Chain A
Amino acid sequence: MSFLQNNLLSLMMIMPVLGAAILLIIRHTDAEIEKRNIRQVSLLITTITFVMSLVLWFGFDNGTAEFQFVEQHAWIGDDISYYIGVDGISMLFVVLTAFLMPLVVLASWDSIHDRVREYMIAFLILETLMIGVFTALDIFLFYIFFEGGLIPMYLLIGVWGGVNRIYASFKFFLYTLLGSVLMLVAVMYMYLQAGTTEIPQLMNYSFDTDVQKWLWLAFFASFAVKMPMWPVHTWLPDAHVQAPTGGSVILAGVLLKMGGYGFLRFSLPMLPEATVEFSWLIFTLSIIAIIATSLIALVQEDIKKLIAYSSVAHMGFVTIGIFLLNVNGVEGAIFTMLSHGVVSGALFLCVGVIYDRLHTREISRYGGLATNMKIYATIFVLFSMASIGLPGTSGFIGEFLVLNGSFAYNSWIAFLAATGVVLGAAYMLYLVRRLIFGVLDKDDVKAMPDLTLREKLVFAPLVAVVLWMGIYPNSFLEPMHASVSALLENHFTTDISHASTDTLGAPAGR
């Protein structure tokens, strides 16, 4: 047991790679049986990884801000090491990643016929890299995982994507790479200045104020693209629309979270002065993002594009929350990221369900699904409400905390951000009206069957988690408390007590 405890994170990263190796040797004369075996092994491996992530969650000590499950082995020279661990900020992202993966495998069960083996291998390797991003405690190691994830995602979009997949895959790869190389220069500079690549040590190193600005901008270039923030978000609608359903889920659910995680892990603790100085930039861009992309989402004809734009708007909330630099804001931001990971993933899966049946994403081709696909309609409406932020669903808690935090900071920011909530309700309800309600007058839509057992299995855990997060958010907020307060207390002198009381009584009681 102690071996498992001491190496849990490494095992979680090795497991998918091992699974990919097993997939390589699965052979059967009957191609269909071979594909079935490949799918089953992938499901098994991702499920085991998910169970391990639950062990991680239960073994996690909420009371400390220290890194836990730490492993360190010498790697390149004296400075760069294989150094991993989790704290309250990163732990739940690992769980989120492991949680979404089995669902992605299940969702791709019937919709992927070509090159199933390669598809699953790409996903499994991507899982390892994503867990690596959230657990790396060495900045060099972090960069390797952060950038390495581009390769499988590029292939996933390019090989299994839609009509315009090549343009989308190139745009995704080059956009993200361009942002990241600037960050790499900053990483090198920090390494040479501080003489270490260990993130915990870098957090306690104070860089010169002038240098901080440049370093902050370099990190910003990378994370803003990944996030994505307005105006560098344009790769996201393309990538989302063209990616296969599983790719969209992982892209929205996990990859977008890396930007926010990066801000929390690097920009805030390592470059606090620049963070305070540039927060106006973040607020401006975020508010533009919230309002502009919500308006853009209103006029979309493509379901996936609409959800993609709504992602940009939600990420605007996240960046506002992070840079409020108070407990409510930061916890709200993390919670919104987790919630958005589940909800937008679920919405993309919903789109996948009807896309598999009608092979179009055009909103006007559907209508009246509430009549013939009752279970589907119920689930879709639930996730739409979660996306809007209806109390009782996960979306509400995050937005509430962020807005609460922004009132403590500046009411104008709160006011403008709140208009985003209204607009969010507008475009989601408009989508629901066109898709689910209305008259069922198209023959091919009438012929669409309701959810199969497999699809129900995919959605059941998502529904449960969305409600759980909405009704009892403390399970998710408690692990964060210690780390978030430590982050803010150690690096920011501003009085944070004004917003740290009355964190959660209200939403939890409803």
Chain B
Amino acid sequence: MNGETLTILPALPELILAVGAMALLMLGVFRGDKSYRQVANLSILLLVFCAVVMINQVGGEREVIFGDMFVTDAFAVFAKTLVYIGSAVAILIAGKFLSEHNIAKFEYPILILFATLGMLIMISANNLMSLYVGLELQSLSLYVLAAMNRDRLRSTEAGLKYFVLGALSSGMLLYGISLIYGFSGSTDFDVLATSLRGEGGAPIGVVIGLVFLLAGLAFKVSAVPFHMWTPDVYEGSPTPVTAFFAAAPKVAAMALLVRAMINGFPALIAEWQQVIVFISIASMLVGSFVALVQTNIKRLMAYSSIGHIGYALVGLAAGTQDGIEALLVYLAIYLTMTLGAFAAILSMRRNDGMVEDIDDLAGLSTTNLPMAVAIAIFMFSLAGIPLLAGFFGKWFIFLAAVEAGLVPLAIIGFLASVVACYYYLRIVKVMFFDESAGAFEGGHGQAVSAVVGVAAVLNSPVSFLLIWPLVGAAAWAAGSLLF
């Protein structure tokens, strides 16, 4: 029937991705481990194809299908585009690393595809049930990815740690959902939004449930105080996997958090706002201060990402349309900085394997100036220094906070960013001011160079020209959420 095909159209990219991922899984199973390259290339193509289908066929019109479980709108299109980019780049930069570590298995791209599918469902979730289903599909894939390097203790430890703590947070999430359902009678965002708006305020059970829900989601975005897993998992996982963790799942979980709060609980804004303000401040401070003493660059990036999630949450804490717009701009810029920085970390290699200490970067400016300049651009951008893209992210985020009257939050955030600046500067110092500790050896592959190059250009002052289109797109996306 014609009507039937129309109703599944909004989920078409997800359906294609699910079917495609399974087909590629079959291909991998039948052709064995040597099929890695083929499966990886086809996976990237599949992601690009799904993204094109999403932009061309689905568009930004708000549509709700599957019994109000699944929603597509401009917000979803924006966030999903970022997720597609993050996932595709994670597959793209992995090839050389995986084959050198003898873990070039076809499962890697397949797992990323399934995780991506989970993220897409998370972003489009319009119901606490579909939220949970998407989140679990994503999380289970990520647990396995973290433990990909089975022969390495660190990697399996990372996977196990991630799984145990992740299961705990899923438990909290489910407990919160059950409380919300029990006290309000629905799991649907639209129904919740209208029913909680009623007279006499929300039942206390819903508020408690909401706090549990937030705790579970804070774990997924690795916000303080639910961040403990992040440094260990980032350090232990294979670097391409870490790059993936730091980018796409963060975007998806943030989008999910935003939609759940703005669409599902607009009536309880006073309740969740204080929680978000707290975890935002805590994340910014922990991200800044604890990173000061890190020597491993992946651990440092873990704390850096905790801090950045704190900044992004400022936009949600503002609770306004401008705040959401700023959050989306921030996520887009964060994505380019993070992917670029991790791709650059993949180039830190000597003949006897990968090196991960910050001191191994010493004197990079004399041995490989373009790479040193690119890393410096990422670091200054992460620090939010003007001239680079990261500054625009901070500007819009804190502008929204000031507009919403959260001036103290903005001041704390900026002071934390000055502290954070110290360790970003330290990396620049090691690369430019210190004596060389020997050049990096061996090729890191053209894909890594290309990603580093593109990301560096996007973060450089070229971003002056790109910022306005980005802000326009984010405004379009933020406007589609129900306010």
Interface residues of A (CB under 8 A from B): 75-77, 118, 129, 140, 143-148, 150-151, 154-155, 158-159, 165-166, 169-170, 173-174, 177-178, 181-182, 184-185, 188-189, 191-192
Q: Are A144 and B391 in contact (CB under 8 A)?
A: yes
Q: Are B418 and A147 in contact (CB under 8 A)?
A: no
Q: Is B269 an interface residue (CB 8 A)?
A: no
**Chain A contacts of B415 at CB under 8 A?**
178, 181
Given contacts A76-B468, A170-B425, contact A151 B380 (CB under 8 A): yes
CA distance A157 to B403 in the complex (A): 38
A-B contacts, 26 listed (Cβ < 8 Å) = A75-B468, A76-B471, A118-B369, A145-B386, A148-B385, A148-B387, A151-B380, A151-B385, A154-B425, A155-B428, A158-B433, A159-B365, A159-B432, A166-B433, A170-B429, A174-B418, A174-B422, A181-B415, A181-B417, A181-B418, A182-B414, A184-B395, A185-B398, A185-B414, A189-B402, A192-B402
Q: Is B399 an interface residue (CB 8 A)?
A: yes
CA distance A257 to B386 in the complex (A): 20
Nearest B-chain residue to A184, judged by Cβ: B414
**Chain A contacts of B399 at CB under 8 A?**
188, 191-192
Interface residues of B (CB under 8 A from A): 365, 369, 380, 385-387, 391, 395, 398-399, 402-403, 407, 410-411, 414-415, 417-418, 421-422, 425, 428-429, 432-433, 464, 467-468, 471
**Chain B contacts of A184 at CB under 8 A?**
395, 398, 414
B330 to chain A, nearest CB (A): 15
Nearest B-chain residue to A192, judged by Cβ: B403
**Chain A contacts of B414 at CB under 8 A?**
181-182, 184-185
Q: Are B387 and A177 in contact (CB under 8 A)?
A: no
**Chain A contacts of B402 at CB under 8 A?**
185, 188-189, 192
Given contacts A185-B414, A191-B399, contact A173 B432 (CB under 8 A): no
Contact among B365, B410, B425, B464 with A173 in the assembled complex (CB-CB below 8 Å): B425
Q: Are B432 and A158 in contact (CB under 8 A)?
A: yes
Given contacts A170-B425, A174-B421, A174-B422, contact A148 B386 (CB under 8 A): yes
CA distance A146 to B387 in the complex (A): 10
Q: Are B429 and A158 in contact (CB under 8 A)?
A: yes
Q: Are A182 and B433 in contact (CB under 8 A)?
A: no
A73 to chain B, nearest CB (A): 11
B408 to chain A, nearest CB (A): 10
**Chain A contacts of B398 at CB under 8 A?**
184-185, 188
CA distance A490 to B225 in the complex (A): 53
B462 to chain A, nearest CB (A): 12
CA distance A423 to B402 in the complex (A): 46
**Chain B contacts of A143 at CB under 8 A?**
386
A78 to chain B, nearest CB (A): 11
Q: Are A170 and B467 in contact (CB under 8 A)?
A: no
Question: Could you say which of A75, A174, A185 has the most chain B C-beta atoms within 10 Å of its C-beta?
Answer: A185
Given contacts A148-B386, A174-B418, contact A188 B425 (CB under 8 A): no
CA distance A337 to B468 in the complex (A): 37
**Chain A contacts of B432 at CB under 8 A?**
155, 158-159
**Chain A contacts of B387 at CB under 8 A?**
129, 144, 147-148, 151
**Chain B contacts of A158 at CB under 8 A?**
429, 432-433
**Chain B contacts of A192 at CB under 8 A?**
399, 402-403
Chain B interface main SS type:
helix
Contact among B386, B407, B425, B471 with A185 in the assembled complex (CB-CB below 8 Å): B407
Q: Are B410 and A177 in contact (CB under 8 A)?
A: no
Given contacts A75-B468, A185-B411, A185-B414, contact A173 B433 (CB under 8 A): no
**Chain B contacts of A147 at CB under 8 A?**
385-387, 391
A173 to chain B, nearest CB (A): 6
Given contacts A159-B433, A182-B414, A192-B402, contact A170 B422 (CB under 8 A): yes
**Chain A contacts of B407 at CB under 8 A?**
185, 189
Q: Are A182 and B468 in contact (CB under 8 A)?
A: no
B353 to chain A, nearest CB (A): 30
A292 to chain B, nearest CB (A): 27
B292 to chain A, nearest CB (A): 12
Given contacts A77-B468, A181-B414, contact A150 B385 (CB under 8 A): yes
Nearest A-chain residue to B433, judged by Cβ: A158
A216 to chain B, nearest CB (A): 15
CA distance A169 to B430 in the complex (A): 13
Contact among A76, A144, A159, A185 with B410 in the assembled complex (CB-CB below 8 Å): A185
B319 to chain A, nearest CB (A): 16
**Chain B contacts of A129 at CB under 8 A?**
387
Contact among A77, A144, A166 with B386 in the assembled complex (CB-CB below 8 Å): A144
**Chain B contacts of A173 at CB under 8 A?**
421, 425
Nearest B-chain residue to A161, judged by Cβ: B433
Q: Are B433 and A77 in contact (CB under 8 A)?
A: no
**Chain B contacts of A177 at CB under 8 A?**
385, 418, 421
**Chain B contacts of A174 at CB under 8 A?**
418, 421-422, 425
CA distance A76 to B398 in the complex (A): 16
Q: Are B467 and A76 in contact (CB under 8 A)?
A: yes
Given contacts A76-B467, A169-B429, A174-B418, 15 further A-B contacts (CB under 8 A): A143-B386, A146-B386, A147-B391, A151-B380, A155-B428, A155-B432, A165-B433, A166-B429, A170-B429, A174-B421, A177-B418, A182-B414, A184-B414, A185-B410, A192-B399
B397 to chain A, nearest CB (A): 10
Nearest A-chain residue to B416, judged by Cβ: A181
CA distance A140 to B391 in the complex (A): 11
**Chain A contacts of B421 at CB under 8 A?**
173-174, 177
A367 to chain B, nearest CB (A): 34
A97 to chain B, nearest CB (A): 18
Question: Could you say which of A169, A177, A178 has the most chain B C-beta atoms within 10 Å of its C-beta?
Answer: A177
**Chain A contacts of B425 at CB under 8 A?**
154, 170, 173-174
**Chain B contacts of A191 at CB under 8 A?**
399
CA distance A147 to B414 in the complex (A): 14
CA distance A170 to B425 in the complex (A): 8
**Chain A contacts of B471 at CB under 8 A?**
76-77
CA distance A150 to B417 in the complex (A): 15
CA distance A154 to B379 in the complex (A): 14
- Lowest 10 CB-CB distances: which A-B pairs, in order? A181-B414, A148-B387, A144-B386, A147-B386, A188-B402, A158-B433, A148-B386, A178-B418, A188-B399, A76-B468
Question: Could you say which of A158, A166, A188 has the most chain B C-beta atoms within 10 Å of its C-beta?
Answer: A188
CA distance A181 to B412 in the complex (A): 10
CA distance A143 to B387 in the complex (A): 10
**Chain B contacts of A155 at CB under 8 A?**
428, 432
**Chain B contacts of A170 at CB under 8 A?**
422, 425, 429
CA distance A178 to B407 in the complex (A): 16
Nearest B-chain residue to A76, judged by Cβ: B468
B239 to chain A, nearest CB (A): 27
CA distance A76 to B432 in the complex (A): 33
CA distance A216 to B367 in the complex (A): 47
Question: Could you say which of B391, B422, B429 has the most chain A C-beta atoms within 10 Å of its C-beta?
Answer: B429
CA distance A143 to B418 in the complex (A): 16
CA distance A140 to B432 in the complex (A): 30
CA distance A178 to B403 in the complex (A): 22
A119 to chain B, nearest CB (A): 12
CA distance A296 to B410 in the complex (A): 38
A482 to chain B, nearest CB (A): 32
Q: Are A188 and B468 in contact (CB under 8 A)?
A: no
Question: Could you say which of B411, B432, B433 has the most chain A C-beta atoms within 10 Å of its C-beta?
Answer: B433
CA distance A159 to B403 in the complex (A): 41
**Chain A contacts of B429 at CB under 8 A?**
158, 166, 169-170
**Chain A contacts of B386 at CB under 8 A?**
143-148
**Chain A contacts of B410 at CB under 8 A?**
185, 188
**Chain B contacts of A148 at CB under 8 A?**
385-387
B378 to chain A, nearest CB (A): 13
Nearest B-chain residue to A125, judged by Cβ: B387
**Chain B contacts of A144 at CB under 8 A?**
386-387, 391
A419 to chain B, nearest CB (A): 37
**Chain A contacts of B467 at CB under 8 A?**
76
CA distance A144 to B386 in the complex (A): 5
